Amino acid sequence: MKRKIVLLSLAMLMTTGCAETSESEISVSHTEKNITTETSTSASSIQTPETATTSTTVIKPTETDIQAERKIVEDVEKAIYGGHYEQSLVDNTVDYMTDRAEKLSERVLGEIISEEDAVEKASSVLIKLGLSDWIERTESEFVEIDGEKVRYQRRNEPYSVTFYDEYDACRVVPNAPSEITEDGRGVDTPAMPPYVIMRKSDGKVLGVFA
């Protein structure tokens, strides 16, 4: 009889131990699941701001860059004069042109791939600088005489484009209207035309005479 009681007590003790072990395992399992979920959420919250954040770095030209760009404008100006120039005149012109270029809010217009591309870029620069009337007259097929618009035959192309490969430069000139009207009258514009000097490789406006 005592042996039966001992065996019964031992069986009950083993059953209780298994139940406690099972509850412990379930508790650990839930805990691990909660930790995994919290970790995943935390990682997500860290990654989201990084993905949404963008930054723009503005690289300012160094003094060496500025001097190199100025030298391009100077070399082009000397090429225009063909060796007949005074250095002081060239220096003053380059100072004026580079100062005008620096006032532009956007100077790097992209690589110049053709004459047409150069004309489009240069004309947009001159329009931004307030020369839209000049561009309109340059591209128009009519000239105004005594308040009347008369069709004319142009003596020259609307734009002159010159590439200076040795300087990686391009010069665009919207030619002053010079033409003959349909009734034979000649019309000239005495003012000196504006022009733009740009770097060919990236389209950066280096100098503006306007």
User: Of residues 178 and 58, which shows the higher confidence score?
Assistant: 178
The confidence score (pLDDT) of residue 137 equals: 86
- Return the DSSP state at 158: S
pLDDT at 113 over 80: yes
pLDDT at 199 over 70: yes
Report residue 50's pLDDT band, with 50, 70 and 90 as the boundaries. very low
Read off the pLDDT of each residue in 13-22 and give the average, rounded to a whole number.
44
Of 58-67, 100-109, 135-144, 149-158, the range with the highest mean pLDDT is: 100-109
Q: Over the stretch 146-163, which tens digit does the pLDDT of each residue have?
A: 888 888 778 788 999 999
The confidence score (pLDDT) of residue 79 equals: 95
Report residue 55's pLDDT band, with 50, 70 and 90 as the boundaries. low
The CA-CA-CA angle for residues 24, 29, 33, to 5°, reads 150
Read off the pLDDT of each residue in 106-132 and give the average, rounded to a whole number.
97
